[in-house]
Every structure is written in C-alpha cells, then in structure tokens.
Amino acid sequence: MRWIFRGIKKGILTTKYPEEKPAYDEVPEIGLPVPDKCADFASAESNCPTGAITNAVDAEKCIFCGRCEDFRFKRSRTVELAEVRKTLPFSKSIHVFVADVGSCNACNREVEMLNNPFYDFHRLGIFFTPTPRHADVLLVVGYPVEKTVKALLEAYDAMPEPKVVVAAGSCALSGGIFGEEGIDRYIDVDVRIPGCPPPPIALLHGLLKASGR
C-alpha cells in the first residue's frame, strides 16, 4: 500500500517520446560526434580507435569513446538510426526476444532499462518474451562469439513468421572495438541501431521502426 502512495507522490516520470522529441535529460550530448567548423579531420582520423572517421563519421563503427572531441568534434544530441530494411506487417503489439551474443553488459543493461518508468515501453505495446516461439522481433546485442551465435540461429529458426531482426550496438553492427565483423555474417539484419551502448530512447526508436511506426 505504501508503495502505491509513494508512486502517486512521485508523479509521472515517463518520457513524452515518441509524441515529442526526446528531452535534454534523456539524450544530453551522448550522440554521434559531428565535426566543428575548424575540426582537425586528419588527426581525428588517425586517432579514432575503430576507423569510424573518414569524410564523415560512420555511426555503425563509432564506439562513442569521445576521443575525437580532442580534435574539435562535438557530440550531437540526436538519436541515430542507420537503416530500416524490413518492418513487421502489424504494429499494435510486438514481442521481443533479447539475444545477447557477447555484449559487455552495457548494451543489455540498456535494454533492461526500457522497463523502467522513465521509458515504460509497455505503453507502446512492446513486450519482452522469454521464448523465441512467441517473438516477432529478435533483438541482438553484443559482439558475436561463436559459441553463442549457434544458440542465436536456433532461436531465430524457432521464431514464427513474420519476424524481423534488430541489431543494436556497434559490437553487433560492425564488431565495434572487438573485431572487424558484426552479426551480418551470420544473420540478415533488418533494423540497425547504432550506439555503444545505444541509449534506451534509441532502442525505443528502433523497435518502433521495426513495427512500422
């Protein structure tokens, strides 16, 4: 009972996203780095640990380490979404099976954070499911470790049609800091969410896109 009173006292914390743009608190300067007018491209390029900087910044390779900030790059306040190839034919209620294939624990912690009252993803009709049999979306995070990828493919096969694969985090997309290749080698990815780790708002954005919203 006391819990409930406390809840009422605390008021509403939930983000206004997606009806409104994310607030500053939700996404402060943690986005993709963008070059200043007088940015030192050459130095930034040679110092970037993943080779994300060429003429522009590759969101999928960037590990958001902040090193290029030493060379007049500024962190943006936007949520990036690289690419959407396929969406689900229905959008009201989607069930997500989370598959961690070797993350550093930050990516899956951010996925877990979708549950908290600040994001409350149930209000948008998104739910986690403990079994791939009920899942419409396979959310893959982490650097593909061979032993786990086997389990991932089994989970994918067990999912009913229609299904989409969402990959989140630079590890899954490009191998990030750990390697040269991401999950693409093993499975076709439909929605790509960059970040290291992608903040919950970015995950929300990606999952909504996967359901065609």
Q: Quick one: tokens of 140?
A: 């893959």
CA-to-CA distance for 1 and 5, rounded, in angstroms?
Answer: 7
CA dist 35 to 56, 65, 99, 199, Å?
8, 15, 34, 21
Q: Is 81 exposed, middle or buried (0-12, 13-18, 19+ CB in 10 A)?
A: middle
Binding to ligand SF4, residues 80-119 (CB under 6 A): 103-104, 106-107
Backbone region of residue 132 per phi and psi (left: phi > 0; alpha: psi in -120 to 50; beta: other values): alpha
31 contributes a contact to ligand SF4 by CB under 6 A = no
Residue of 148, 194, 186 lying closest to 167 (CA atoms): 194
Which CB, 54 or 131, lies closer to ligand SF4?
Answer: 54
CB of 66 to ligand SF4, least distance (A): 5
36 contributes a contact to other proteins by CB under 8 A = no
105 contributes a contact to other proteins by CB under 8 A = yes
194 contributes a contact to other proteins by CB under 8 A = no
140 contributes a contact to ligand SF4 by CB under 6 A = no
CA-to-CA distance for 196 and 198, rounded, in angstroms?
Answer: 5
Adjacency order of strands within the sheet including 94-100: 83-84, 191-193, 164-168, 137-141, 94-100, 126-128
Query: 158 and 148 in contact (C-beta within 8 Å)?
Result: no
Among other proteins, ligand SF4, none, partner that 213 touches (CB below 5 to 8 angstroms by kind): none
Q: Which stretch binds other proteins (CB under 8 A): 78-86, 87-95, 149-157, 184-192?
A: 149-157
Work out which of 35, 60, 64, 124 binds ligand SF4, going by CB under 6 A: 64
Query: 104 and 142 in contact (C-beta within 8 Å)?
Result: yes
Among other proteins, ligand SF4, none, partner that 62 touches (CB below 5 to 8 angstroms by kind): ligand SF4
The residues that touch other proteins, with contacts defined as CB under 8 A, are 2-4, 6-7, 10, 13, 25-26, 28-30, 49, 63-67, 69-70, 75, 97-113, 115-118, 128-130, 132, 142-143, 145, 147-148, 151-152, 155, 176-178, 196-197, 199
The residues that touch ligand SF4, with contacts defined as CB under 6 A, are 33, 48-50, 52-53, 57, 62-68, 103-104, 106-107, 141-143, 169-171, 176, 196-197
